[in-house]
Amino acid sequence: MSLPLAGVTVLEFSQYLAGPYAGLRLADLGARVIKIERPGKGDACRQLATKNLWADGDSVLFHTINRNKESFAANLKDPADVATVKKLIAQADVITHNFRPGIMQRLGLDYKSVKAVNPELIYGEVSGYGDTGPWKDKPGQDLLAQSVSGLAWVTGNGDQPPTPFGIAVADMLCGTHLAQGLLAALVRKKRFGVGAKVNVSLLESILDFQFEGLTAYLNSDNELPERSQIANGHPYVGAPYGIYATANGHIAISMGELKTLCDAIGLSGLEGFYGVDAQFFERDKIKATLQKHLKNRTSGEWLQMLEQGRYWCSEVLDYEALTHHEAYQLLGMEQTLQRNGASLTTTRCPIRYNGERIYSDKAAPNVGADNERIQQEFAL
């Protein structure tokens, strides 16, 4: 299959998650992504292991997000290496970095300097909180970005402490926004022949994600979101929206008319709450009654009744149940990579292009694995 970004060269100075996630997606879509790494240690993410899991000397986390990339080792504190890297930049389409403000200037690799070498270059920058203001030097870390952004107050029930999303959501969203900005800039370069500087930050990305609630907040009397006391699913959505315990597990009950739900599961006593406003304002009362009722039968029994009554619902799956399910297996979501005898199964690109899934079996590189070839190819 010919991929849409074939012929595009990306130099990735970014480390950890947000920047490399953008690089991963561009690589999936056909770009050639070369990581520029410190000799020896390389991207700090190589040593950042979650659950202490490793493959061929690098953390599994590093492998997942840097597959399908090349590595060029260069010491950016050495002027000779910087000169070499600049020659590479002159021939690249895109570079990305996530150094704290000021560092690229010191290295002579700020936008102005590299634009002089390559006027059509697209220069992508990731920061934690933007490049001005009181937080500009604060570590751009996911949990901290979630915490200052207000996001910790939408998940969990009303009587629970602030609950962060249990995954690096600010990094991931920021990475998608970087990829969007870089891609849009590539489109503009092709149409109008101009380069670009693209800036994203974890905080702006996590605020964009909260656009619904923030728009509500900004235009009301600054009413803060309130999580339901029971089965909170979304602070701005009324009952029954949430996940409920049954006699033998849990089920998810989505949005819809309360009457349809009550008819489907044989629940009486909530007739006074039918209607959109009551479902929102009286949601805790409705949810409490519902929760009590749902404890009486098994998930399977309820799901059958809900499906017959055409009410939106689903089972709740863990990874074991999910990965054994036909619906998952048909996706062909897994791919296996090999490096120096180590084998690693991970996910593929979620986008399908012209009806085809996009796979790549190239494992994440060792530090400097491609120096020789890149030096020759780019005449460095």
Partner 1 sequence: MIKPLQDITVLDFTQFLSGPSASLRLSDLGARVIKVEHKYKGDLCRSIYASHLNIAGQSGFYQGINRAKESLALDLKEPDDFAQVKAILPHADIVLHNFRPGVMERLGLGVADVKAINPNAIYGEITGYGHEGPWRDRPGQDLLLQALSGLAGLSGDESSGPVPMGLAIVDNLAGAQLVQGVLAALYAGEGALVQVSMLEAALDFQFEPLTLYYHDGEPVDRGRKNAAHALVGAPYGLYKTQDGYLALAMGSIPFLGELLNCQPLLAFTDAGRWYAERDAIKAILAEHLQNQCTAHWLSILEPADIWCAEVFNWQQLIAHEGFAVLDMVQEVTSFGGRYLTTRCPIRLDDQLLTQPEGGPTLGQHNSALRAEFTGIKPERIHHD
Q: Which of residues 221-240 bind partner 1 (CB under 8 A)?
A: 222, 224-225, 227, 232-238
Q: Which one of 35-43, 101-109, 176-184, 360-368 is the stretch in contact with partner 1 (CB under 8 A)?
A: 176-184
Q: Give Cβ neighbours of residue 323 (< 8 Å, ≥ 6 apart).
A: 329
Among 86, 188, 285, 297, binds partner 1 (CB under 8 A): 188
Residue 215 binds partner 1, judged by CB under 8 A? yes
- Residue (80 or 167) nearer to partner 1, CB: 167
Query: Minimal CA–CA distance to 350: which of 373, 337, 333?
Result: 333
Which parts of 245-274 interact with partner 1 (CB under 8 A)? Answer: 245, 250-252, 254-255
171 is catalytic: yes
132 binds partner 1 (CB under 8 A): yes
Closest CA to 65 of 207, 179, 203, 206: 179
Question: Counting every residue, how long is the chain?
Answer: 380
Helix runs in 59-135, H state only: 60-66, 79-90, 103-106, 111-117
Q: Does 349 bind partner 1 (CB under 8 A)?
A: yes
- Closest to partner 1 by CB, 70 or 204: 204
- Ranges within 315-334 binding partner 1 (CB under 8 A): 315-320, 322-323, 326-328, 330-331, 333-334
Binding residues for partner 1 restricted to 79-98, rule: CB under 8 A: none
Q: 294 with 245: CB under 8 angstroms?
A: yes
Q: Which stretch binds partner 1 (CB under 8 A): 83-91, 102-110, 124-132, 284-292?
A: 124-132
The residue whose two tokens read 């017959």 is 308
Taking the least distance from each CB to partner 1, the nearer of 14 and 201 is 201
Total binding residues for partner 1 by CB under 8 A?
146
Residues of this chain, 14-53, that bind partner 1 according to CB under 8 A: 25, 29-30, 50-53
Question: Site mask, partner 1, residues 143-162, x = CB under 8 A?
Answer: xx-xxxxxxxxxxx---xxx
CA–CA separation, 69 vs 368, rounded Å?
Answer: 11
Q: Which is nearer to partner 1, 72 or 153 (CB)?
A: 153
Of 43, 171, 277, 284, the active-site residue reads: 171
CA distances from 48 to 23, 41, 42, 52, 63 (A): 18, 12, 12, 9, 11
Give whichever of 307 and 372 is closer to partner 1, judged by the CB atom: 307
Q: Which residues are bridge partners to 346 per DSSP?
A: 335
Q: What DSSP string describes 260-296? A: HHHHHHT--S-GGG-SHHHHHHTHHHHHHHHHHHHTT
Judge if the upstream peptide bond of residue 240 is cis by omega within 30 degrees of 0.
yes
Q: Is 200 in the site for partner 1 (CB under 8 A)?
A: yes
Active site residues: 171
